[in-house]
Structure 1
C-alpha cells in the first residue's frame, strides 16, 4: 500500500510539473518577474524613496524610473547620480514548481507517517502464542537439571546456549524489577 501511495504522489507531482511547464511556454514573461528598482537617498529637503517599475533592461535608469521627478529640472542630473538603479529578474514559475515539489515531499512524508501510525499497532500486536512459550521456559528454568554436571558445556554450541540463557534470565529480571517499571 505504501508503494502505491508513493507512486501516486510521484505521479501527481509529475503531472503538476508538466502543467506548470506548459503554462510557462504558453505565456510570455510575467510582468512581476522583471523590474527596475531605483533607490534614491535623501537629497536636500527631499526624503529618500524607492521606485519600482517594469521597464526593459536598457531603460533601467533614474530618468525612466523615477516618476514624478521630485526635484526641479536643473537638479535632475545631480539627483539621478545619487540614485542606484538595478534591473532584477526572477522566475516565478520556478519558484512555484519548487514550492509544489517541496509540499509534495512533505505531504508524502506525512502520509507515510500516518500509514506507520495506523499499521504499527497491527504489526506489534501481542501474539497470544508467545506468552505460553515464555511461561513454559520459566517453569523449565525453575526445575533442577539432572544433566547440569560435566556433560553440560562440552561443545561451543552448548556454551553459547548457556550464556544466552543466562542473558535472558538477567534481561527478564531487569524488565520486571521495580526500578524499571514506569507508572
Structure 2
C-alpha cells in the first residue's frame, strides 16, 4: 500500500484512540457535583414592581416549594404568601449517567461508521478491477459479443461485492436494451 493510505489508516486509528481517551477523562466514573441529577425549579412571574425570575435549587421533593427555593425572598414578609401562590415549582429528576452512556454510544457508532467509510474508500479501488466488459453497448454486434462473457462473470458471483456488481451489470444491460429499442422505434417512425 502507498504511504498516503498507511498515513490515513494511522490517522484514523490515532483519532479513535484520542476520542476514547477524551471520553474517559471528560466523563469520569464518579458523579460530579457540578451536574446535579435532582433540582427544584420555581418560575415566579412579575409581581407588582418586582420582575419575574427563575430559581433552581437542589432540594428534596418534599421541600420543593416557593418558601424553600426562593432565596432571597424579593417581597416583604406580609406579601410572601401572595407571591408564592403565583410561583410555579416543579421537582425535576434526570440521570446524567444515562445521558453520558448514550452520548458515548452515539459517538462510538458514528466514529466506527466513519472509520468503516474510510476503510471502504481505501480498499474499494484495490478490490475492484477494471472490467473491459462494462463499457456501454453501442450497437448490436458489440452486445452480441459481450453477452457470453458478461453472463460468465455473473455466474461466479459468490461474494457480496461480486453479487452487487452482477446486479449492476444486469441493470446496465437492461438500460442499454431499452435505449436500443427506443432508438430503433424512433428510426422506424421517422
TM-score range, shorter chain: 0.5 to 0.7
User: Does structure 2 retain, via aligned residues, the 8 Å contact 1:43–1:79?
Assistant: yes
- Deviation per CA, 1:3-59: give whole Å up to 9, x if none: xxxxxx9xxx9xx89xx7x93xx6598752111100000111111110011111111
Return the TM-score normalized by structure 2: 0.54
Cα distance between partner residues in 2 of 1:46 and 1:28 = 35
Q: 1:123 to 1:87 in 2, by over 3 A?
A: same
Counting only pairs closer than 5 Å after superposition, residues 35-50 of structure 1 correspond to structure 2 as 35-50=39-54
Counting only pairs closer than 5 Å after superposition, residues 151-162 of structure 1 correspond to structure 2 as none
RMSD: 3.5
- Structure 1: give runs of 5+ residues left out of the alignment: 1-8, 132-136, 142-166, 175-183
Q: 1:75 to 1:94 in 2, by over 3 A?
A: same
Match of 2:117 in 1: 113
Greater helix content: 2
Cα distance between partner residues in 1 of 2:121 and 2:35 = 46
Q: 1:27 to 1:73 in 2, by over 3 A?
A: same
User: Does structure 1 retain, via aligned residues, the 8 Å contact 2:44–2:86?
Assistant: yes
Equivalent residue for 1:87, pick from 91, 95, 120: 91
Rg larger for: 1
Flag the structure with more relative contact order, 1 or 2, with Cα contacts below 8 A and sequence separation at least 6: 1
Cα distance between partner residues in 1 of 2:75 and 2:36 = 28
Report the number of matched residues: 125
Any runs of at least 4 consecutive aligned residues in structure 1 with deviations exceeding 4 A, and if so which?
26-31
